[in-house]
Amino acid sequence: MIQSITKPTLVIDKAKCLNNIKRMSDKAKRSAVKFRPHFKTHQSAEIGNWFKDFGVKSITVSSVSMAKYFSQNGWNDITIAFPVNILEINEINELAWTGRDPSLQINLLVISRETLTFLNKNLKSKTGIFIKINTGYNRTGIVAEDTDELDKITDDLRNSKMMIFKGFLTHAGHTYNAQSKEEVIEIHEETKQQLLDLKKRYISVFEKIEISVGDTPSCSIATDFTDLDEIRPGNFIYYDVMQYNIGSCKMDNIAAAVACPIVGKDRSKNEIFIYGGAIHLSTEYLLFEEGLKHYGLIVRFNGNKRTGPIPNTYVARLSQEHGIIKTTPEHFDSFNVGDIIGVLPVHSCLTANLMRGNYMISDE
Amino acid sequence: MIQSITKPTLVIDKAKCLNNIKRMSDKAKRSAVKFRPHFKTHQSAEIGNWFKDFGVKSITVSSVSMAKYFSQNGWNDITIAFPVNILEINEINELAWTGRDPSLQINLLVISRETLTFLNKNLKSKTGIFIKINTGYNRTGIVAEDTDELDKITDDLRNSKMMIFKGFLTHAGHTYNAQSKEEVIEIHEETKQQLLDLKKRYISVFEKIEISVGDTPSCSIATDFTDLDEIRPGNFIYYDVMQYNIGSCKMDNIAAAVACPIVGKDRSKNEIFIYGGAIHLSTEYLLFEEGLKHYGLIVRFNGNKRTGPIPNTYVARLSQEHGIIKTTPEHFDSFNVGDIIGVLPVHSCLTANLMRGNYMISDE
C-alpha cells in the first residue's frame, strides 16, 4: 500500500514492468534474436523472476558480485558485461566452476590481450569470452577498425582451451546523448554494421560468432534486429525521464517512482520540500529547454494508480536527504505537508541502486 | 590490508579521521561550545565510537532511521537535523520515549506552525524542538527577518507541554559555493549575527536558547565560536576534494578514498579504466579552472600509506560501474591492469553513503 509509506520508497509498478518486458521480448522473438536482459537495473531476484514467464533463460550483469547473486537465484547463463577484473579471478573461477553445474554458462568480457593471457593461465573451467568493441561510445573496448589487434586477440582465443570465443559485444552508450529517434537509429545502424563486418571477417575461423548490442535507446526505438544475434537492454524494465526525452518510451511506460513525504512548503517561492534527496534519487539531472536543471518530475498516487506528471513541477535542488520541488501558484495548494508524492527518476538505474533496500511492488 | 582488496572499497584512514576529530573538538573546547558532530557522513556505529574519546556525548543525524540506529548503539542525545516528517510520528514517539530511558534527549527540527500543531497533539514524550532558520542558503527554514512568524511559533512552543524549545539552528550550506576562505568567514559572521539577534529577541521569554550552526566550511575555517552554543559539522571527519577546494582542509586531511582495481588502459587517449563508477563514487563532480569536469583525484597506496594525488590525473567520466581516468603520457606507464588505485571523492558524504556496505579501516 502506497498509503502506508512513511519514508522515501521506490515504488515499482509491476503491470508497467511486465508490459515493458513483453514489448521487448516480443520484438526479440519477431527478429529471432536472443533476449539477454541486463539485470543491473533492478538487481532483484524477485523482479528477475518476472522474466522467466517470457521464456528468458540468459541474463547480463555488470559485476562478478551480481553474477554470484543471480547464480544463487536460479540463473545459469550469465554474461558479465564489464571488462574482466583480474583481481577477482578466484570469484570468477568459483562462479564458472562447471564441476558444480555442467549446464553453467558464464561469459566474460575482454578488452586487451594482457587480460586474455592472464585468463588463459588462470581460468579453471571453460568460460565464454566476448570481445568488447568500441563502436563510437568511446568508453572502453577495441575499436572495430583495429583489425591488427583483433587478429591477435582472436588468434589467442583460437589457441586457448579454457576460453571459448563467443563473439563481439558492444554498448552503444552514445545513443543516450542522441537528440532524436532518427539519431538513435543512425547510431544503431552504424554499430550493427561494424559488428557485422567483424563477424564476416572471422566467421571462417570460428564456427559460431554472436554479435550482441545492449543500449536501451536502440533496443527500444529500432524495430528489427534480424542481423543481430542478441540484445541486452536493461534500463527498459523501468525506463525513466531520460529515456522519455530520448524517445525510448512513453511517459506511461516509466515503471519506477520514488514515493516521498512532503515535509514543508514555501508559498513565496512556490517550493515544496520533500524527504527524498541525493541518497535516494541520485544527483543525475537533465536540462529543460531553457537550460534549467531538474532531478525528476512529479506524479501523484491515487490508491495504486499513478497520475501526472504535474505540469511545470520538478525537483529543482537536492541535498543529502532534502529535495526541493519547484511548482506554480496554480498547483501549490494541491501539495500538503504529510502527502506522499512520487518522483519519476532521471536515471532509474542509479535510483534503483540507491533504493535497493527500500522498495515496494505495486499492482494496479 | 589494502593489498587484499579485489573490488571497489572505501578505505577510511583512521589516523587522519582522529586528527580531523581532534582539531574540531579542540576548537570547540577552546570556544566553550558544544560539539555535536553530524553522523550522516559516516553512518557507522564503529566510527561513531571514535568520537567518545574526545568527550562527545551529543550527535546530529539527518533521519529518524539514522537516529534509531545510533540510539541502538549507545547514543542518547540526538538532534534529527531534518524538518519533521509527520508521517514518521510513531517512529519518533518510539525513539523519544523517556519511559525507556529518562536521560534520553531527542531534538526535532521544525520549519512551520502546521507541523508544530501536529506535534503538539501527537508527541508522547518531552521532546526538544529547534526552529530551523534560513540564514541565506535558501534550502528550508524560516528567514530570520520573519519575526511575525517566529513570534507565533515561539508562542506555540511556550504553551506546549511536550515540546521543549531548544533554540535556533541553521545550516549555512551556501558556504559550499564560496570562492575563498574570506567569503566563508563573511557568510559565517552574517549567519551568526542573525542567530544572535534572534537569541536576544526571545531570551526574555525562554530561559535558555541555544544557537547552533553546522556547515563544515565555516566550522573548519572560523577559529572562534565563542558567541555560539553549538557546532554540528559532519563532513570534516573525512573531508573531500570539494572541501579542499573551498579551503576547509589540506589535501592530507582527506581521510576517505575509494580503492578501485584497474581493468584496462588506452595509450592513444592516456586513459585508464577502473572498476569503480557512479554507484561507488556518486555522480557529484567539480570543475577544474578550464571548465573540465572531474569526479575525483587519483592517489596510490603503498602498504597502508597513501601518496598523491597524481598531477593532472583525474576521473573524467563515469557510468554505472566504469570509471575513466585521464592522465598524461608521463604517468601512463605507472598504471597497470590489476593495480589498486585510490579515488579521493568529490563529496565524501554521498560516496560514503553508497559504500556503506563495503569499507575498511586502515591504520597507518
Which of A233, A263, A292 is the last residue before a domain boundary? Answer: A233
Contact of A353 with chain B, judged by CB distance below 8 Å, is answered with yes
Distance from CA of B235 to the nearest CA of A (A): 12
Domain match, B131 and B277 both: no
Q: Rounded to whole angstroms, how far apart are CA atoms B93 and B91?
A: 6
* Residue A217 in domain: yes
* Residue A320 in domain: yes
- pLDDT score of B72: 95
* Residue B249 in domain: no
Q: How confident is the model at residue A331 (pLDDT cuts 50, 70, 90)?
A: very high
Nearest to B350, CA basis, from B260, B275, B278 = B278
* Residue B250 in domain: no
Domain match, B56 and B163 both: yes
CB contact under 8 Å between B85 and A261, yes or no, is yes
Domain match, A153 and A267 both: no
Which residue range(s) make up the domain with A303? 3-7+250-362
Q: Rounded to whole angstroms, how far apart are CA atoms B339 and B326?
A: 16
* Residue B173 in domain: yes
- pLDDT score of A289: 87
Domain match, B205 and B280 both: no
Which of B86, B87, B140 is nearest residue A322 as measured by Cβ atoms?
A: B140
Contact of A321 with chain B, judged by CB distance below 8 Å, is answered with yes
> Taking CB atoms and an 8 Å cut-off, how many pairs form between chains A and B?
140
What value does the mean pLDDT take over residues B331-350? 97
Which of A208, A233, A258 is the last residue before a domain boundary? Answer: A233
Contact of B131 with chain A, judged by CB distance below 8 Å, is answered with no
Nearest to B92, CA basis, from B112, B78, B111 = B78
* Residue A63 in domain: no
- pLDDT score of A364: 54
Domain match, A142 and A89 both: yes
User: What tens digit of pLDDT does each residue of B56-72 get?
Assistant: 999 999 999 999 999 99
Which of A64, A115, A319 is nearest residue B337 as measured by Cβ atoms?
A: A115
Residue of A nearest to B139 (CA): A324
Domain match, B287 and B327 both: yes
Q: Rounded to whole angstroms, how far apart are CA atoms B257 and B12?
A: 7
Residue of A nearest to B90 (CA): A6
Does position B364 have pLDDT exceeding 60, yes or no? no
Domain match, A216 and A257 both: no
Contact of B360 with chain A, judged by CB distance below 8 Å, is answered with no
Domain match, A202 and A299 both: no
Q: Enumerate residues 175 to 234 of chain A having a beta carbon within 8 A of any beta carbon in chain B.
A: none
* Residue A65 in domain: no
User: What tens digit of pLDDT does each residue of A43-95 get?
Assistant: 999 999 999 999 999 999 999 999 999 999 999 999 999 999 999 999 999 99
Contact of A322 with chain B, judged by CB distance below 8 Å, is answered with yes
Domain match, A300 and A153 both: no
Contact of A361 with chain B, judged by CB distance below 8 Å, is answered with no
- Tally of CB atoms within 10 A around B324: 22
Q: How many domains does chain A have?
A: 2
Domain match, B299 and B346 both: yes
Helix B147-158 vs helix B113-122: crossing angle, to nearest 10: 10
Residue B240: phi and psi, rounded to 5, are -175, 180
Which of B7, B87, B139 is nearest residue A85 as measured by Cβ atoms?
A: B7
**Percent of chain B residues past pLDDT 90, beyond the cut:** 91
Q: How confident is the model at residue B233 (pLDDT cuts 50, 70, 90)?
A: very high
* Residue A287 in domain: yes
Domain match, B55 and B79 both: yes
Q: Enumerate residues 69 to 128 of chain B having a beta carbon within 8 A of any beta carbon in chain A.
A: 82-88, 91, 111-112, 114-115, 118
Domain match, B76 and B166 both: yes
Residue type, B309: P
User: What tens digit of pLDDT does each residue of B64-102 get?
Assistant: 999 999 999 999 999 999 999 999 999 999 999 988 888
Which of B321, B340, B349 is nearest residue A82 as measured by Cβ atoms?
A: B321
Helix B181-202 vs helix B147-158: crossing angle, to nearest 10: 50
* B219-248 CB burial, b ≥16 within 10 A, e <16: bbbbeebeebbbbbbbbbbbbbbbbbbbbb
CB contact under 8 Å between A317 and B139, yes or no, is yes
Contact of A143 with chain B, judged by CB distance below 8 Å, is answered with no
Distance from CA of B30 to the nearest CA of A (A): 30
Task: CATH number of the domain at A346, please.
Answer: 2.40.37.20
Which of A163, A198, A233 is the last residue before a domain boundary? Answer: A233
Query: What is the grid cell recorded at A262?
Result: 512532503
Task: CATH number of the domain at B163, please.
Answer: 3.20.20.10
- Tally of CB atoms within 10 A around B136: 16
